[in-house]
Structure 1
Amino acid sequence: MHQRTRSPLESLNLSLHKLTSDNKMAMFHLHLSQEAKRQRIQDKIIATHAGIEEHSAGYLRPWQLLKLKIDASEINMNSQDIIKFKPCFFSPLSTDTIRICLSKQLCKNTSNGGSLGYAGPGNTPSSTATQCPLILDLFREKYATSVRKGFCLDNLTTLRECGKGKWKQQPGLELTEKLSTESWQILRILEDLEHEVPHAVCDIRQNIQIDKTKGLTVAEVKAIMRVMAVRIGLDCYRRHSIMPMTTAEMASKELNEKSFKSPQVSADVEVQQGGFEEIQPEFDLSEQEKEPNEFDYESEHSPFPEVRAVVPETDDPGLPVNTFRMWVLGFIFTIVGSGINQFFSLRYPSVHIVSLVAELLAYPCGVFLAKVLPLWTISLGRLGSFTLNPDRHFNIKEHALIVIMSNVSFGYGSADSTNIIQASSARFYNFGLSAGFSVLVVLCAQLLGFGVAGLAAPWLVEPARIIWPQVLSNCAMLETLHSRANTVANGWKISRLRFFLYVTAGGFVWYFFPGLMFTALSYFTWICWIAPRNVVVNQLFGMQTGLGLSPITFDWSQVAYNTNPLLSPSWAAINVFAGFALFFWIVVPGIYYSNTWFTAYLPLMTADVYDRTGTVYDTARVISADNTLDVDAYRQYSPPYLPATYAFVYGLSFASITAVLTHIGVWHGKEVWAALKGKNKLDIHARLMRSYKKTPWYWYAAIIAIITAIAIVMVEVYHTKLPVYGVFLGLIIPAIYMIPCGIIQGITNVDANQLNVLAEFIGGYMFEGKPLANMIFKILSTDVVGQGVYFAMDMKLGHYLKIPPRTLFMAQGLATILGALTQAGVTIWMLGHIQDICSSDQSDGFTCPNGRTVYSSSVIWGLVGPRRLYSVGRIYSSLLHFFWIGAIAPLITYLLYKYTRNQFWKYINWPLIFVGTYNVPPATGINYSSWALVNFAFNHFIKKRFFAWWKKYNYILAAALDTGLALSGIVIFFCISYPGAVFPDWWGNTVYVNTADGEGVAYKSMPEVGYFGPANGTWS
Structure 2
Amino acid sequence: MAVADASSEKGSSPAEAIAQSSISELRSVSEEDDTAEFSDPRLRTYPVLLVAKTVDLRNNPNEPILTFRFWVLSTFWVIVGDAVSTIYYFKPYSSTLSSYIVQLLSWAMGDFMARTLPSKKVVVCNKSFSLNPGPWNAKEHALIIVAYWGSSRTAFGLGPLSALELYFDRKVSPGYGILFLLTSQLMGYGCAGLFRDILVRPPKFYYPGVLPNVALFNAMHSTSLVTHNKYLKFFAYVSCITFCWQWIPGVICPMLSSLALLCYMAQNSWTGFNLGSGYSGFGVLNVSLDWNYAGFFRPLVTPLWSNVSQMAGALIVCWALYPIMFFANVLGSQRFPAMSSGTFDKSGADYNISRVLSGGQTLNKTVMEAYSDLYWSGSYVMYFFWGFACSTAAIAFAILWHGKDALRAAINTFTGVRSDYEDDPYLRLMSSAARVPHWWYVCLLIVCTCLSLVCLYGADLGLPWWGFFVISAMSTIFTFPNGVLFGIANMQVDLSFLSEIVAGALFRGNPSAVLASLTLGLYVVSQVFRFFLAAPHVNRGVKYMKIPEKEMFCAQIYGTLVGPFVNYAVMRLVIDRIGKAVLIGARHSNSWLALKSKNYYSISVLWGVLGPQAILSPHSQYRWIYWSFLLGPAVVVIVYAAHRLRPKWQLETRCNPVVIMQGATWFPVFQTANLFTSFVLSLVFMGYMLRYRPVWFRKYNYLLACGLDTGAQMTQTVIMFTLNLANAVFPRWWGNNVRV
TM (norm. structure 1) is 0.68
**1:910 counterpart = 2:649:** no
For residues 330 and 684 of structure 2, what CA distance do their matches in structure 1 show?
Answer: 38
- State the Cα distance separating 1:351 from its structure 2 match: 2.3
Question: Partner amino acid for 2:677?
Answer: S
- 1:204/1:660 CA distance change after superposition, 3 Å: closer
Instruction: Name 1:666's counterpart in structure 2.
Output: 400
| 1:379 alignment partner, SS class | strand
Instruction: Name 2:164's counterpart in structure 1.
Output: 424
Contact 2:156 2:185 in 1 (8 A): no
Paired residues for 1:60-459 under 5 Å: 200=5, 204=8, 206-207=10-11, 234=27, 237=30, 242=33, 263-264=38-39, 295=45, 302-380=46-124, 383-391=126-134, 393-410=135-152, 413-426=153-166, 428-459=167-198
Contact 1:550 1:926 in 2 (8 A): no
Paired residues for 1:807-846 under 5 Å: 807-835=551-579, 836-840=581-585, 842-846=588-592
Instruction: Name 2:440's counterpart in structure 1.
Output: 699
For residues 484 and 163 of structure 2, what CA distance do their matches in structure 1 show?
Answer: 33
For residues 773 and 230 of structure 1, what CA distance do their matches in structure 2 show?
Answer: 55
Contact 2:472 2:521 in 1 (8 A): yes
- State the Cα distance separating 1:595 from its structure 2 match: 2.5
- 1:551/1:496 CA distance change after superposition, 3 Å: farther
- State the Cα distance separating 1:904 from its structure 2 match: 5.0
For residues 272 and 595 of structure 2, what CA distance do their matches in structure 1 show?
Answer: 31
| 1:597 alignment partner, SS class | helix
Contact 2:194 2:441 in 1 (8 A): yes
- State the Cα distance separating 1:208 from its structure 2 match: 8.6
Contact 2:91 2:595 in 1 (8 A): yes
- 1:598/1:388 CA distance change after superposition, 3 Å: same
Instruction: Name 2:708's counterpart in structure 1.
Output: 961
The one of 646, 665, 681 aligned to 1:900: 646
Alignment deviations for residues 941-980 of structure 1 (CA, whole Å, 9 cap, x no partner): 1111111111111111111110111111111111222122
| 2:317 alignment partner, SS class | helix
**1:460 counterpart = 2:199:** yes
- 1:721/1:309 CA distance change after superposition, 3 Å: same
- State the Cα distance separating 1:545 from its structure 2 match: 0.5
For residues 133 and 43 of structure 2, what CA distance do their matches in structure 1 show?
Answer: 42
Contact 1:338 1:823 in 2 (8 A): yes
Question: Partner amino acid for 1:463?
Answer: P
Instruction: Name 1:783's counterpart in structure 2.
Output: 523
The one of 483, 488, 499 aligned to 1:759: 499
Alignment deviations for residues 149-181 of structure 1 (CA, whole Å, 9 cap, x no partner): xxxxxxxxxxxxxxxxxxxxxxxxxxxxxxxxx
Alignment deviations for residues 113-147 of structure 1 (CA, whole Å, 9 cap, x no partner): xxxxxxxxxxxxxxxxxxxxxxxxxxxxxxxxxxx
Instruction: Name 1:618's counterpart in structure 2.
Output: 352
- State the Cα distance separating 1:423 from its structure 2 match: 1.4
- State the Cα distance separating 1:849 from its structure 2 match: 1.2
- State the Cα distance separating 1:839 from its structure 2 match: 2.7
For residues 24 and 463 of structure 2, what CA distance do their matches in structure 1 show?
Answer: 66
For residues 501 and 545 of structure 2, what CA distance do their matches in structure 1 show?
Answer: 41
For residues 309 and 502 of structure 1, what CA distance do their matches in structure 2 show?
Answer: 23
Unpaired segments ≥5 residues, structure 1: 1-20, 24-198, 210-218, 244-259, 266-288, 296-301, 998-1020
- State the Cα distance separating 1:261 from its structure 2 match: 7.2
Instruction: Name 1:509's counterpart in structure 2.
Output: 244
Larger RCO (CA under 8 A, 6+ residues apart): 2
- State the Cα distance separating 1:520 from its structure 2 match: 0.6
Instruction: Name 2:489's counterpart in structure 1.
Output: 748
Instruction: Name 1:945's counterpart in structure 2.
Output: 692
| 1:317 alignment partner, SS class | coil
Instruction: Name 2:415's counterpart in structure 1.
Output: none
Q: In the comparison of the two structures, how many residue pairs are matched?
A: 723
- 1:543/1:551 CA distance change after superposition, 3 Å: closer
- State the Cα distance separating 1:233 from its structure 2 match: 7.1
- State the Cα distance separating 1:482 from its structure 2 match: 0.9
| 1:459 alignment partner, SS class | helix
For residues 178 and 565 of structure 2, what CA distance do their matches in structure 1 show?
Answer: 7
Instruction: Name 1:594's counterpart in structure 2.
Output: 328
Alignment deviations for residues 560-617 of structure 1 (CA, whole Å, 9 cap, x no partner): 23x4111111111111011112222222223222323322100011221112222222
Instruction: Name 2:285's counterpart in structure 1.
Output: 550
For residues 234 and 792 of structure 1, what CA distance do their matches in structure 2 show?
Answer: 32
Contact 1:419 1:851 in 2 (8 A): yes
- State the Cα distance separating 1:634 from its structure 2 match: 2.2
**1:605 counterpart = 2:605:** no
- State the Cα distance separating 1:511 from its structure 2 match: 0.4
- 1:977/1:527 CA distance change after superposition, 3 Å: same
Alignment deviations for residues 669-711 of structure 1 (CA, whole Å, 9 cap, x no partner): 2221232224363411222222211111111111111111111
Rg larger in 1 or in 2? 1
Instruction: Name 1:536's counterpart in structure 2.
Output: 271
Alignment deviations for residues 646-685 of structure 1 (CA, whole Å, 9 cap, x no partner): 1111011110111001111111122212322243634112
- State the Cα distance separating 1:390 from its structure 2 match: 0.5
For residues 232 and 761 of structure 1, what CA distance do their matches in structure 2 show?
Answer: 57
Contact 2:361 2:605 in 1 (8 A): no
Determine what percentage of the aligned residue pairs are the same residue: 28
For residues 542 and 232 of structure 1, what CA distance do their matches in structure 2 show?
Answer: 57
- State the Cα distance separating 1:533 from its structure 2 match: 3.2
Which structure features the higher share of helix residues? 2
Alignment deviations for residues 315-343 of structure 1 (CA, whole Å, 9 cap, x no partner): 11110001011110000000011001110
| 2:298 alignment partner, SS class | coil
The one of 867, 883, 886 aligned to 2:629: 883
For residues 850 and 231 of structure 1, what CA distance do their matches in structure 2 show?
Answer: 54
Question: Partner amino acid for 2:359?
Answer: A
Alignment deviations for residues 232-283 of structure 1 (CA, whole Å, 9 cap, x no partner): 9748857xx559xxxxxxxxxxxxxxxx975316xxxxxxxxxxxxxxxxxx
Contact 1:870 1:877 in 2 (8 A): yes
- 1:688/1:200 CA distance change after superposition, 3 Å: closer
Contact 2:44 2:52 in 1 (8 A): no
Q: What RMSD over aligned residues (CA atoms) do the two structures have, in Å?
A: 2.7
Alignment deviations for residues 290-311 of structure 1 (CA, whole Å, 9 cap, x no partner): xx9972xxxxxx4322112222
- State the Cα distance separating 1:429 from its structure 2 match: 2.2
Question: Partner amino acid for 2:726?
Answer: P
- 1:205/1:929 CA distance change after superposition, 3 Å: closer
The one of 255, 263, 284 aligned to 1:520: 255
Contact 1:461 1:795 in 2 (8 A): no
Farther off after superposition, 513-522 or 842-851: 842-851
Question: Partner amino acid for 1:442?
Answer: L
**1:630 counterpart = 2:364:** yes
For residues 338 and 321 of structure 1, what CA distance do their matches in structure 2 show?
Answer: 23
Farther off after superposition, 475-484 or 829-838: 829-838
For residues 58 and 310 of structure 2, what CA distance do their matches in structure 1 show?
Answer: 35
Farther off after superposition, 530-539 or 398-407: 530-539
- State the Cα distance separating 1:714 from its structure 2 match: 1.7
- 1:342/1:532 CA distance change after superposition, 3 Å: farther
- State the Cα distance separating 1:901 from its structure 2 match: 3.5
- State the Cα distance separating 1:368 from its structure 2 match: 0.8
For residues 348 and 755 of structure 1, what CA distance do their matches in structure 2 show?
Answer: 25
For residues 651 and 5 of structure 2, what CA distance do their matches in structure 1 show?
Answer: 52
For residues 510 and 518 of structure 2, what CA distance do their matches in structure 1 show?
Answer: 12
